Amino acid sequence: MTGECHGRVALVTGGSRGLGKAIAQRFAAEGATVAITARTMDPDPKYHGSLRETCEEIAAAGGTAVAVQADLSRSEERVRLFDEVVDRVGAPDILVNDAAVTFLRPLDGFPEKRARLMVEMHLIAPLHLTQLAIPAMRERGRGWVLNLTSVGGDLPDGPPFAEFDTDAGFGMYGTVKAGLNRMTKSLAAELYSDGIAVNAAAPTNPVATPGAGTLDLAKTDTEDIELIVETVFRLCTGDPKTSTGRIAHTQTFLREVGWLG
């Protein structure tokens, strides 16, 4: 590890398990003080992983982490989370928006309540947290925002359409990720002169995490979690003047930077 994040604060949402946990561990190993948030604070037999377990593992490895339990689907909870993070460890230099809620069902019968929740978690929550982070980043003249997206946000080819697009019920998921990609690009443009990098990272193939397994996303052609963690780390430590506005697919991006052969 390079210690490249020494003295920086990284806020990672969805840090109780899966990608969020792995990303938080990487930033801590690189010297950052990490703040993590999710809904699961203590171990629960219904879930794999918790905020407390992530913090304990980071501390055991010599890192520093604090946890704040929050329901990011609620605006007031996002404000409370951010204020508590600032009070405990300072305003974040790095914000990673990983937390999400996903339901798979064809659009012609997609429940409105679930559609609204997905829009809230995939779009509005990342935007709101970014808005909360901007003032301190702007004052410092530097900052990094990273949104976890998906190749599912790319427009499908067709007709004819692939089975993935016709049968799997990924229409709403692809819709919110496409919106997240566009929002990422717009924020990058608007914040460029402030020295704030805004990027998105997508696994080229599904990552075999507990969440992906629950949604039946990672049966074949899975990708090592290390690839998405490396992509996130590089985008959150790059020069904001040259490394911003990227919708980076892991394998393509890592080959471009020479990390992957």
Domains of the chain, residue spans: 9-256
Q: So what's the pLDDT on residue 127?
A: 98
Q: Which residues are catalytic?
A: 173
d(CA 59, CA 161): 48
Q: In which region does residue 24 sit, left (phi positive, over 0), alpha (psi from -120 to 50) or beta (all else)?
A: alpha
Chain segment 143-181, per-residue pLDDT in tens: 999 999 999 999 999 999 988 788 789 999 999 999 999
- The alpha-helical segments, DSSP class H, found in 31-124 are 51-60, 75-89, 112-119
Tell me if 237 sits within 8 A of 4, measured CB to CB: yes
- The distance of Cα 106 from the centroid of its chain, to the nearest Å, equals 25
Buried b (16+ CB within 10 A) or exposed e, 73-107: beeebbeebbebbbeebebbbbbbbbbbebeebee
Per CATH, the homologous superfamily of domain 9-256 is NAD(P)-binding Rossmann-like Domain (3.40.50.720)
Q: So what's the pLDDT on residue 216?
A: 46
The arithmetic mean of pLDDT across residues 185-212, rounded, is 89
Task: Write down the mean pLDDT value for the chain.
Answer: 94
Q: So what's the pLDDT on residue 44?
A: 85
d(CA 190, CA 120): 22
Chain segment 15-69, per-residue pLDDT in tens: 999 999 999 999 999 999 999 999 999 998 888 899 999 999 999 999 999 999 9
The β-bridge partners of 248 are: 201
Of 147-156, 182-191, 216-225, minimum mean pLDDT range: 216-225
Q: Is the pLDDT of residue 211 over 80?
A: no
Chain segment 117-130, per-residue pLDDT in tens: 999 999 999 999 99
Q: So what's the pLDDT on residue 209?
A: 59
